Structure 1
Amino acid sequence: MKYPVNEVFQTIQGEGVHSGVPSLFVRLQGCPVGCSWCDTKHTWDVLKEDEVDTHVIISKRLDSPQYTQLTGSELIALFQKQNFKASHVVITGGEPCMYDLSELTDTLIEAGYSIQIETSGTYEVLVNDRVWVTVSPKVAMKGGMEVLRAAMQRADEIKHPVARESDIENLDALLAESELDASDVFICLQPISQKARATKLCMDTCIERNWRLSVQTHKYLGIA
């Protein structure tokens, strides 16, 4: 199976439980969720005219909707050709769970990589059982998609974007609807756009509930 790959790069994971881990990011094209604050809106549409050769993706320096189609084995060959050293792969988007990722994650795990998926929770999560699933639930977005109970229950980590108190209330409702106890999963609160008010709200809530703070360290460091 081939997957529409918008971008592949090596960096340090800046968010959530794996913050600080050297990582290979694989960004897939396509997302119907419609988050207003999204910083990768160029990945939303999958148009045939944007499909390009793999060498264009590797040399890409600016955000664009261009993508290439790769199998898991072709992706590993690309890692090797680029001489990437990280062994942790983060599959993100877009919304990666638009696609059945079973074959891709099986192939990467068989090759010795650890895998993390970042998803909005609006699609069924079809991955190898050993994949670390990060659900960043998107509630009442423009696309009108529902966060699935099954996706929440598959999560190893819930990384929740927060701007105001109502975002905390939405998370509480999702946890209750999904019959998830906060002790069963890592919960990371992530302030939207590093705003001081949102950061304080996240810090206060994390201290009160013994949750974790995710501060998007890559943005403070000015790296990808």
Structure 2
Amino acid sequence: MSTRQTVTRLRVTEIFASVQGEASRAGLPTVFVRLTGCPLRCVWCDTEYAFNGGQTRDLSTILDEIASHGLHHICVTGGEPLAQKGCLDLLTALCDAGYDVSLETSGALDIATVDPRVSRIMDLKAPGSGEADKNRWDNLPQLTARDELKIVIANADDYAWACEQLTTHALAARCPVLFSPVAGELAPADLAEWIVRDRLPVRFQMQLHKVLWADARGK
């Protein structure tokens, strides 16, 4: 009896080299693998072009293109990369190949099965996103010191909500926490001043790629 080997295939919007624009790896030359599709529709989303389209590719060809860039840091992003089952295979293959791997994920899908060698950069959606009801709260206990939690903040109400979650769930004791302003909606200086005023145990961040190029080529 013959056995049929399953080939992992993923729908890919783009693969490109840039500098990482967010989290603790900001500024590092990185290869980004942007997978297609997302079950969320955050009102401030800056990668809507990844919701549809893309090209279906075998895992081996994806790995070959990544290797061609000659960089050590790899970021798998979207869209929502975990919406594709093959994403788990991609992450493990990248770790096996010796890369430093991070995953950008919305927090709406289970992160427990992600390879433990991957740094999970997980969102917690504030009310201003329009998708706060999609937060998967049982992901929080899965976070470790090698992961990071990001809250994108659109206004003072979002900030108050984020502060409440910070305390209620002891977020800073789990992993580094990042507060980021929505571009064009909340003045970065206002958020930075609030964080300092309230002595929060979080890192303020801006999207470096938007400062440099005003687009999404760093997340």
**TM-score normalised by structure 1 residue count:** 0.80
Separation in structure 2 between the aligned mates of residue 7 and residue 17 of structure 1, nearest angstrom: 23
Q: Which amino acid aligns with 2:138?
A: A
Counterpart residue number, 1:76: 63
Q: 1:199 is matched with which residue: 180, 188, 198? A: 188
> In 2, are the aligned partners of 1:33 and 1:142 still within 8 Å (CA)?
no
> In 2, are the aligned partners of 1:16 and 1:213 still within 8 Å (CA)?
no
Matches for 1:2-21 after TM superposition, within 5 Å: 2-21=9-28
Counterpart residue number, 2:180: 190
Q: 1:86 is matched with which residue: 49, 56, 71? A: 71
Per-residue CA deviation, residues 37-92 of structure 1 (Å, 9 max, x unaligned), is: 111112223xxxxxxxxxxxxxxxxxxxx312234332111223xx3021111111
> In 1, are the aligned partners of 2:81 and 2:104 still within 8 Å (CA)?
yes
Separation in structure 1 between the aligned mates of residue 90 and residue 32 of structure 2, nearest angstrom: 14
> In 1, are the aligned partners of 2:35 and 2:81 still within 8 Å (CA)?
yes
> In 2, are the aligned partners of 1:33 and 1:145 still within 8 Å (CA)?
no
RMSD: 2.2
Matched, 1:150 2:152: no
Classify 1:15/1:181 alpha carbon distance in 2 versus 1 (closer, same or farther; 3 Å): closer
Q: 1:159 is matched with which residue: 150, 159, 166? A: 150
Per-residue CA deviation, residues 140-174 of structure 1 (Å, 9 max, x unaligned), is: 45567521123233341112111212112332444
Matched, 1:132 2:119: yes
Q: Structure 2: where are the runs of 5+ without partners?
A: 1-7
Classify 1:131/1:184 alpha carbon distance in 2 versus 1 (closer, same or farther; 3 Å): same
SS in 1 for 2:108: coil
Matched, 1:29 2:36: yes
Q: Structure 1: where are the runs of 5+ without partners?
A: 46-65
> In 2, are the aligned partners of 1:157 and 1:186 still within 8 Å (CA)?
yes
Classify 1:95/1:211 alpha carbon distance in 2 versus 1 (closer, same or farther; 3 Å): same
Alpha-carbon shift at residue 19 of structure 1 (Å): 0.5
Separation in structure 2 between the aligned mates of residue 30 and residue 21 of structure 1, nearest angstrom: 26
Percent of pairs identical after alignment?
27
The runs of at least 4 consecutive aligned structure 1 residues that moved more than 3 Å come to: 139-145, 172-177
Per-residue CA deviation, residues 84-109 of structure 1 (Å, 9 max, x unaligned), is: 02111111111112133321111111
Alpha-carbon shift at residue 176 of structure 1 (Å): 5.4
> In 1, are the aligned partners of 2:125 and 2:132 still within 8 Å (CA)?
no
How many residue pairs get aligned? The number is 200
Classify 1:204/1:210 alpha carbon distance in 2 versus 1 (closer, same or farther; 3 Å): farther
Matched, 1:171 2:145: no
Alpha-carbon shift at residue 18 of structure 1 (Å): 1.0
Separation in structure 1 between the aligned mates of residue 41 and residue 132 of structure 2, nearest angstrom: 8
